[in-house]
Every structure is written in structure tokens, then in C-alpha cells.
């Protein structure tokens, strides 16, 4: 499967294949003649997937340098960014050389941002190895790190030149991480494509088992994201729909310290169900549809309620503060992605904090 992301002179392809890493060397050699490469990866992926990429580059006689950072969200910080940038410079990569981001969303965001600022902007290629990265973060050009004030507050729009999504990389991905990525996949159906959501329901078994529907599901997700991004690259309008479930989700991630207690995709799963439940509560979304969404996510091994989060949850007032600090807020009112049903999400800029406070109290 090849999905095209049409963005004028920043247009690129997403190649989804069973051995996209194995054929990376050939593709990269053809696309970037004479270039040298810096592979940025993390301590997990360097064990499971890096050897395949190194073999593929070596077989084509391509020169590369490897930069390994600690696995986990905590690496999206200034110190690690500094290490990556200096690593690229120390390897004597020139402006026409290429950064390869091999890993999950953390590596894609970090390495992409490093590429955007090193030597005033180097090209980079996304080689996503987690499901979340393959269906979401590797596409669309958002790169960055976290600030002490919150997630993704420092960054740049920097589109990759190419995305290589390798299906067999998912074989070494822990099941919990796979499920978390599945939440972002289901999100595209929930936003504006009920057909896709019903198709996911019908094909879930095969997708989870690694059957032929898995590649199709990833391609459908990439096509959905490409369409939204092509229509609104810098998030001045409809791209915000991709934040469905994320305003609640980010607050829950923050409240649990960005830890193993709650993965990003798990926060998004709970957040999407909360967005659907809130929409039902204000009378705009049929409650059977909320039940159907919750049942599917649960079936996919995902948490769907606040009670599913292990340990004590921060008080409602603290959660509300975190929601208000999230960047999707204006003039004392909160911005939420709400919905009129499956595949009918919309941006609501006028949500009263009091309504969310009362809702969260009831949900605990
Ligand atoms: P991650 O990069 O931390 O990967 C999850 C875990 O899986 C890590 O421990 C990683 O080492 C491991 N892993 C990845 N691939 C593996 C493989 N093939 N085999 C074995 N282990 C593997 O997290 P993620 O869930 O991929 O991404 C989450 C991040 O993505 C968050 O920081 C989020 O903010 C960001 N994100 C960005 C965008 C965007 O548009 N830029 C969109 C969504 C999410
Ligand atoms: Zn997300």
C-alpha cells in the first residue's frame, strides 16, 4: 500500500509494507543519492528493529551513524533534544544529509524536531515502528518535545520526505502498546467516517491477529490523516478534529505523570468515550452509539472509564485546571471535540468549565 500526502512542494508518500525496513536501503539510495544518514532510535527499538535497518543500509553501501536515546515519553525533553542535535553535528552530517527516525511517536517527534532545527533544517524520514506512530504521529509533520508546562508545547511543523511503515516491526511491539495505537486508529472512524468504524468492528479480530486487514487498516488510517492534514496543514481549522479525546486524555496523562499507569493511546481511549458521553449528556448524541463505541474499545483491550486508571486519580478541580492549561482553550470557555454520533465529530469552542466539572464529578 502507498498513501500519498499531497502538500504542494512538501508532498510525500507513506509506504506500508511487510518489509519496509528491509527495502529501506534501496529506496533511500535512489531518493537521496550521495546522502549520509543519522539513525535516531530508542533503547528498545535499537534491540528489536535497528539491526534490520543497519543491514538494509549496509547492503546498499550507505554510510550512517546511530544515536540511541532512552525509551519513553521522558525523552521528549530539552536535554535529549540537545544530545540528538549534537550527535547529528558530531557525525558531520551536512545540510543535505538525512535524519532517519526509527521508533515510536516519541522518536518521530524528537528526531523530526531535531532535524527541523539542525543546520537550519535537515530533511528526515519517518520509519515508525509502533502502531500509534504508523497510523498517526509519523504523518502530518507535527514534531516537538514537552515543556514543564505541558505536552508538545515546544516544536515545529516539519514534514518528513518519506514514511516507511514496516508491518513486521509490529511483531515485537508489546500488546499493550499495540492496543494504545489502536485507539488512535479507531479515532478516524469516530471523527468523520462511520463506515471505517463499522469496518474496524467487523475486521478487528483479523487486524489484532496480524491478518491481511491490518495493512488495510493502517492504510485507511493514513489516508484519513493525510486528507485532514492536506486540508489544514497548520491546524487553523479542521485539523483540530484529530484532537478528539485528547483534551480529556492529555489531562489524564498529566495527572498520572506520563507514566506506565496510562499510555497516551489509553488516555485517548478514555478521552474519546468521555467526549461521546458528554455529547450524549447534553443531548446531541444518541446513547446507543456511545455504548457501541465504548464496547468496541473495551473489546480492543483498552480502558474506557476513569475507574479503569490504576491508583488514585487527582481531584476533579486539578483535572479541570489541567484541561484549562491545555492549549485548546480560549476566553474562559473550553474547546472540545464533541460529536453528534459515530463519525460526526465537530469542534465546539464554547464549553463552560462548570459543565465539565459537573460531568467529571458524575463520571468518577
Ligand atoms: P513510544 O515512542 O514511547 O513507543 C511506545 C513503546 O514501544 C516504547 O517503549 C518504544 O520503545 C516501544 N517500541 C516502539 N516500537 C517498537 C517495536 N517495533 N518493538 C518493540 N518495542 C517498540 O510511544 P508511541 O505510543 O509510539 O507514541 C506516543 C508519542 O507520540 C507521544 O509522545 C505523543 O505525544 C506522540 N504523538 C505525536 C503525534 C504527532 O502528530 N506528531 C500524534 C500522536 C502522538
Ligand atoms: Zn494522540
Cβ-contact 286, 320 below 8 angstroms: no
pLDDT per position as a tens digit, 110-139 = 999 999 999 999 999 999 999 999 999 999
Greatest alpha-carbon span in the chain: 62
Q: Is the pLDDT of residue 95 over 90?
A: no
Q: Is 152's C-beta closer than 6 angstroms to any atom of ligand 1?
A: yes
Atom of ligand 1 nearest to the CA of 139: 40
Residue of 198, 205, 196 whose CA lies nearest to 289: 198
pLDDT per position as a tens digit, 147-202 = 988 889 999 999 999 999 999 999 999 999 999 999 999 999 999 999 999 999 99
Atom of ligand 1 nearest to the CA of 169: 18
Query: Please, which residues have CB within 8 angstroms of residue 180's CB and are 6 or more apart in sequence?
Result: 131, 132, 263, 264, 265, 266, 268, 269, 302
274, 136: one domain:
no
What's the gap in Å between 186 CA and the centre of ligand 2? Answer: 11
164, 82: one domain:
yes
What's the gap in Å between 354 CA and the centre of ligand 1? Answer: 34
141, 212: one domain:
no
150, 193: one domain:
no
193, 289: one domain:
yes
115, 218: one domain:
no
Q: Is 169's C-beta closer than 6 angstroms to any atom of ligand 1?
A: yes
What's the gap in Å between 286 CA and the centre of ligand 1? Answer: 33
Cβ-contact 16, 2 below 8 angstroms: yes
Helix or strand (DSSP H, E) at 299: helix 287-299
Best residue for ligand 1 mutational test, from 137, 151, 187, 302 (most atoms within 8 Å of Cβ) = 137
355 grid coordinates: 459543565
The whole-number average pLDDT for the span 277-300 is: 98
Q: Is 214's C-beta closer than 6 angstroms to any atom of ligand 1?
A: no
Cβ-contact 336, 348 below 8 angstroms: yes
Atom 3 in ligand 1: residue holding the nearest Cα: 72
- pLDDT > 90 in the chain, percent: 94
Best residue for ligand 1 mutational test, from 81, 110, 115, 177 (most atoms within 8 Å of Cβ) = 177
**CATH of residue 17:** 3.40.50.1970
Indicate the pLDDT class of residue 296, thresholds 50, 70 and 90: very high
Domain boundary among 115, 138, 172: 172
What's the gap in Å between 104 CA and the centre of ligand 1? Answer: 3
pLDDT per position as a tens digit, 42-66 = 999 999 999 999 999 999 999 999 9
The whole-number average pLDDT for the span 266-281 is: 98
Atom of ligand 1 nearest to the CA of 131: 26
Separation CA 268–CA 188 (nearest Å): 12
236, 298: one domain:
yes
What's the gap in Å between 133 CA and the centre of ligand 2? Answer: 9
The 10 Å CB-count burial string (b at 16+, else e) for 236-253 is: eebbbbbbbbbbbbbbbb
pLDDT per position as a tens digit, 339-359 = 999 999 999 999 999 999 999
Q: Is the pLDDT of residue 330 over 90?
A: no
DSSP category for residue 283: T
ipTM: 0.99
133, 227: one domain:
no
Q: What is the mean pLDDT of the chain?
A: 96
Atom of ligand 1 nearest to the CA of 112: 41
Indicate the pLDDT class of residue 267, thresholds 50, 70 and 90: very high
Q: Is 203's C-beta closer than 6 angstroms to any atom of ligand 1?
A: no
127, 38: one domain:
yes
Residue range of the domain that includes 71? 2-172
DSSP category for residue 77: S
For the chain, the domain total comes to 2
Atom 30 in ligand 1: residue holding the nearest Cα: 105
Q: Is 326's C-beta closer than 6 angstroms to any atom of ligand 1?
A: no
Q: Which residues are identified as catalytic?
A: 120, 142, 184, 225, 235, 239, 243, 246, 250, 264
Separation CA 232–CA 234 (nearest Å): 6
70, 183: one domain:
no
DSSP category for residue 237: S
**CATH of residue 347:** 1.20.1090.10
Atom of ligand 1 nearest to the CA of 144: 41
Half-sphere exposure of 148 (CA within 13 A, CB side): 1
The whole-number average pLDDT for the span 59-82 is: 97
Domain boundary among 147, 172, 197: 172
What's the gap in Å between 174 CA and the centre of ligand 2? Answer: 18
131, 258: one domain:
no
83, 195: one domain:
no
Domain boundary among 172, 206, 230: 172
Indicate the pLDDT class of residue 327, thresholds 50, 70 and 90: low
Amino acid at each position: 500500500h502507498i498513501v500519498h500526502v499531497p502538500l504542494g512542494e512538501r508532498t510525500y508518500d507513506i509506504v506500508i509494507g511487510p518489509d519496509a525496513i528491509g527495502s529501506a536501503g534501496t529506496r533511500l539510495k535512489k531518493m537521496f543519492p550521495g546522502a549520509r544518514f543519522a539513525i535516531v532510535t530508542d533503547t528498545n527499538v535499537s534491540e528489536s528493529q535497528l539491526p534490520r535497518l543497519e543491514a538494509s543500509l549496509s547492503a546498499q553501501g550507505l554510510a550512517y551513524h546511530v544515536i540511541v536515546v532512552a525509551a519513553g515519553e521522558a525523552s521528549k525533553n530539552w536535554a535529549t533534544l540537545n544530545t540528538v542535535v549534537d550527535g547529528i553535528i558530531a557525525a558531520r552530517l551536512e545540510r543535505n544529509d538525512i535524519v532517519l527516525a526509527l521508533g515510536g511517536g516519541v522518536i518521530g517527534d524528537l528526531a523530526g524536531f531535531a532535524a527541523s532545527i539542525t543546520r537550519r533544517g535537515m530533511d528526515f524520514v519517518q520509519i515508525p515502528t509502533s502502531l500509534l506512530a504508523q497510523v498517526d504521529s509519523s504523518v502530518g509533520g507535527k514534531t516537538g518535545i514537552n515543556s514543564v508546562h505541558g505536552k508538545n508545547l515546544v516544536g515545529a511543523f516539519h514534514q518528513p520526505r518519506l514514511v516507511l511503515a514496516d508491518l513486521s516491526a509490529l511483531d515485537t511491539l508489546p500488546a499493550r502498546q499495540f492496543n494504545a495505537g489502536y485507539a488512535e486508529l479507531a479515532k478516524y472512524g469516530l471523527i468523520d467516517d462511520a463506515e471505517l468504524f463499522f469496518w474496524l468492528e467487523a475486521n478487528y479480530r483479523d487486524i489484532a491477529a496480524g491478518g491481511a486487514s491490518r495493512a488495510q487498516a493502517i492504510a485507511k488510517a493514513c489516508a484519513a490523516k493525510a486528507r485532514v492534514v492536506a486540508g489544514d496543514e497548520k491546524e487553523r481549522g479542521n485539523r483540530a478534529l484529530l484532537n478528539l479525546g485528547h483534551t480529556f486524555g492529555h489531562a489524564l496523562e498529566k495527572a498520572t505523570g506520563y507514566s506506565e499507569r496510562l499510555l497516551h493511546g489509553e488516555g485517548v481511549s478514555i478521552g474519546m468515550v468521555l467526549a461521546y458521553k458528554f455529547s450524549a449528556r447534553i443531548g446531541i448524541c444518541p446513547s446507543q452509539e456511545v455504548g457501541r463505541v465504548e464496547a468496541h474499545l473495551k473489546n480492543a483491550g483498552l480502558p474506557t472509564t476513569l475507574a479503569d486508571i490504576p491508583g488514585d486519580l487527582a481531584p476533579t478541580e486539578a483535572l479541570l485546571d489541567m484541561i484549562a492549561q491545555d492549549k485548546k482553550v480560549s476566553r474562559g470557555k473550553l474547546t472540545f471535540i464533541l460529536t453528534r454520533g459515530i463519525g460526526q465529530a465537530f469542534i465546539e469552542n464554547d464549553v463552560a468549565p462548570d459543565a465539565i466539572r459537573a460531568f467529571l464529578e458524575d463520571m468518577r
